[in-house]
Structure 1
Amino acid sequence: MAKFLKISIPIIILVLAALIYWRYFFVFGEGVKGGTLNYFEKKGFVFKTWEGRLVQEGFQSPTAGALQSNEFRFSALGDEVANQLERASGRFVEVRYKEYLNALPWRGASKYVIYEVVEVGEREGGGNRDIPTNNN
């Protein structure tokens, strides 16, 4: 019995460590999102984290025939990113993010974590992109 415990306890600990890493620290995906920064605030009871929302152009809906605004809720990582986003409220913002499988309280309330601000532009007629016009 003692030999069984000496073998099974380290295996159980190793499996639990791998499961915790996969659920909370494994980066599931990375990407770039762009949209109008709707709000950005610091909140939390024990761990104060930066939380925000980008509203992207267009509409999407999980059900056919319904309209829903395309929102991207995120948490921000670090003071430099937070300072850039604080000054960009209401403007077009492009950000790089990492997607985790689950959120951690000290990392933020969202599984999407912004780690870099790529661009901040003015919101004139659809953002900082060129819009084709019909010149007939």
Structure 2
Amino acid sequence: MDKNKIKRKFKKGLLLSGFGIVLIFVLTALFLQYGSYSEGYRAGIVMKLSKKGYIYKTYEGELNVEGINSSGGSGISSVWEFSVNSSQQDVINILNEVALNKERVKLYYEEKFIKFFWNGDTKYIVTKVERIAP
């Protein structure tokens, strides 16, 4: 083999390797952005909803998840933090209403693998709100 053939094969191999690495990186980034680790819901009272961010505006909220302690009487409260994509205006409107009226709600969410700053401050992205009858 002459040196030119070897150089061409080497360049072709480098180009294919570089393309493969970029493709793997892009597919991994897409999986982490759009894939979800878990799905579920939490019930409670929305205590706070605020719009945050310098460039990417997201809605951040807190849900008071009430529990009952082992001695029976008073409840133990814990706060669950969540994010809402700003494109889901219907979810945001309902959250604003229920926060003002102190209504109990069921928040459906997706837990993401990684927290990206354009998705919000948490890995929990609320996708649906359901009011709970008193």
Q: Per the shorter chain, which TM-score range?
A: 0.7 to 0.9
Higher-Rg structure is 2
> What are structure 1's unaligned runs of at least 5 residues?
61-67, 122-127, 129-136
Identity of aligned residues (%): 28
- Does the Cα contact within 8 Å between 1:88 and 1:120 map onto a contact in 2? no
Task: In structure 1, give the amino acid aligned to 2:42.
Answer: K
Q: How does 1:1-136 map to 2 (within 5 A)?
A: 1-58=10-67, 69-77=77-85, 78-89=88-99, 90-121=102-133, 128=134
Alpha-carbon distance between aligned partners in 2 of 1:59 and 1:4, rounded to the nearest angstrom: 64
Bigger drift between 72-81 and 22-31 goes to: 22-31
Task: In structure 2, give the amino acid aligned to 1:109.
Answer: D
Q: Deviations over 1:60-80 (max 9, x none)?
A: 9xxxxxxx8432111113111
Equivalences, count = 115
Task: In structure 2, give the amino acid aligned to 1:20.
Answer: A
- SS across alignment from 1:87: helix
TM-score (norm. length: structure 1) = 0.75
> What are structure 2's unaligned runs of at least 5 residues?
1-9, 70-75
TM-score (norm. length: structure 2) = 0.76
- Does the Cα contact within 8 Å between 1:37 and 1:93 map onto a contact in 2? yes
RMSD: 2.0
- Does the Cα contact within 8 Å between 2:103 and 2:131 map onto a contact in 1? no
- Does the Cα contact within 8 Å between 2:44 and 2:105 map onto a contact in 1? yes
Bigger drift between 20-29 and 75-84 goes to: 20-29
Q: Runs ≥4 in structure 1, deviation > 3 angstroms? A: none
Hey, which of these two has a bigger chunk of helix by percent? 2
